[in-house]
Amino acid sequence: MQVLQVQLEVGPDPAEVGRARRWARSRLAGSGIGVDEPLAETLILLISELVTNAVVHTGCPAVLRMLFGGPGVRVEVADASDRAPARRQAAGDDTGGRGLELVDGLADRWGWQREGAGKRIWCEVDRAQQVAAGERAPDGAPEIHTSGREPRVYL
pLDDT in tens, 83-114: 888 777 766 766 666 778 889 999 999 999 99
Say what percent of the chain tops pLDDT 70: 77
The residue type of 69 is G
Q: What is the CATH number of the domain that holds 82?
A: 3.30.565.10
Taking Cα atoms as reference points, which of 46, 53, 48, 61 lies closest to residue 104? 46
Average pLDDT of the chain is 81
Q: Is the pTM of this model over 0.75?
A: yes
Instruction: For residues 125 and 107, give the distance between their C-alpha atoms in angstroms, rounded to a whole number.
Output: 5
- Burial class from Cβ neighbours inside 10 Å (0-12, 13-18, 19+) for residue 27 reads buried
Count of domains for the chain: 1
Query: 149: pLDDT confidence band, cut at 50, 70 and 90?
Result: very low
- Write down the pLDDT at residue 9: 97
- Write down the pLDDT at residue 95: 60
User: Which structural domain, as residue segments, surrounds residue 131?
Assistant: 4-154
